């Protein structure tokens, strides 16, 4: 669901085609990809392994350019890395020689060098308290559990208040209970810290719980195969995943993944 009144597309990928150069020749990964993400929404991207989901995030972040097509962010063409984009990955990649607080502050040192040290600390501590890490700010990453490190990584990704947050399977390596706990943490962060998000995931339940829309990519080379609007409350709880409405959406998404994989779908020839 879109929060507030803004409905313009913050992110647009128009007719993107791309191929990686390999020793055996070009490897096409995108084939006329079309993606539109309205401002203030959470888009979950799913699809077969290796279909080009991570390539999509690199385009949005400005880390690469498509061979053909355009990528737009807030009405402007993306031509390189943007300070207004935050990123979190499956591996938190926290710096062991820095405390958790110092890790979270790092983006502010880069994009807001004139911000006072006091204000940086206040901003980081606000987020750490929000995700339940108050009291752990002086610990080193190795002293925290995997789930706690990922919480710190999420704080680091939004500490500079980015317009766009890119999440590349940030919960994929965690156990089921920790993963569901972090889904709720992300829900709460989003309510408190408005941003537009693109989530790459292999977990369809995760896509429905967190997403306002779910974008299904086809097999490689990827195109947009299907887009589902997730008509669930913004303040959804885990219980919503056990409703018939969610079950129906998950069934549709599973069928779409089968189609993307080239597998037969029940009821089809």
69 and 182 in one domain?
yes
156 and 188 in one domain?
no
pLDDT in tens, 130-165: 999 999 999 999 999 999 999 999 999 999 999 899
Cβ–Cβ < 8 Å for 204, 44: no
210 and 104 in one domain?
no
Residue 34 scores a pLDDT above 90: yes
Average pLDDT, the chain: 89
174 and 79 in one domain?
yes
201 and 69 in one domain?
yes
Q: Which domain holds residue 56?
A: 1-84+163-264
Cβ–Cβ < 8 Å for 38, 10: yes
Domain boundary among 161, 186, 220: 161
What pLDDT score was predicted for residue 81? 86
What pLDDT score was predicted for residue 3? 41
User: Does any domain span residue 269?
Assistant: no
121 and 221 in one domain?
no
184 and 75 in one domain?
yes
Q: Per the structure, how many domains does the chain have?
A: 2
Q: What is the mean pLDDT of residues 177-182?
A: 90
259 and 192 in one domain?
yes
C-alpha 14/C-alpha 91 separation (Å) is 30
Greatest alpha-carbon pair distance for the chain in Å reads 64
């Amino acid at each position: 669901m879109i929060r507030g009144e803004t409905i313009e597309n913050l992110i647009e990928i128009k007719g993107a085609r791309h191929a990686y150069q390999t020793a055996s020749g070009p490897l096409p990964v995108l084939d006329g990809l079309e993606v539109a993400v309205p401002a203030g929404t959470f888009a979950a991207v799913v699809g077969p392994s290796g279909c080009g989901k991570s390539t999509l995030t690199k385009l949005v972040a400005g880390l690469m350019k498509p061979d053909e097509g355009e990528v737009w962010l807030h009405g402007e063409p993306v031509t390189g890395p943007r300070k207004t984009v935050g990123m979190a990955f499956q591996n938190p990649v926290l710096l062991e020689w820095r405390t958790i607080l110092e890790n979270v502050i790092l983006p502010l040192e880069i994009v807001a060098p004139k911000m006072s040290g006091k204000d940086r600390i206040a901003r980081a501590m606000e987020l750490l308290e929000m995700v339940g890490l108050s009291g752990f700010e002086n610990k080193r990453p190795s002293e925290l559990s995997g789930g706690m490190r990922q919480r710190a990584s999420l704080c680091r990704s939004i500490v500079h208040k980015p317009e766009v947050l890119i999440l590349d399977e940030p919960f994929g390596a965690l156990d089921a209970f920790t993963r569901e706990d972090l889904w709720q943490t992300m829900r709460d962060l989003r309510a408190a810290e408005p941003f537009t998000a693109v989530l790459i995931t292999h977990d369809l339940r995760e896509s429905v719980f967190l997403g306002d829309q779910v974008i299904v990519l086809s097999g490689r080379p990827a195109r947009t195969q299907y887009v589902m609007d997730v008509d669930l409350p913004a303040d959804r709880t885990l219980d919503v995943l056990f409703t018939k409405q969610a079950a129906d959406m998950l069934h549709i998404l599973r069928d779409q993944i089968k189609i993307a994989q080239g597998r037969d779908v029940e009821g089809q020839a």
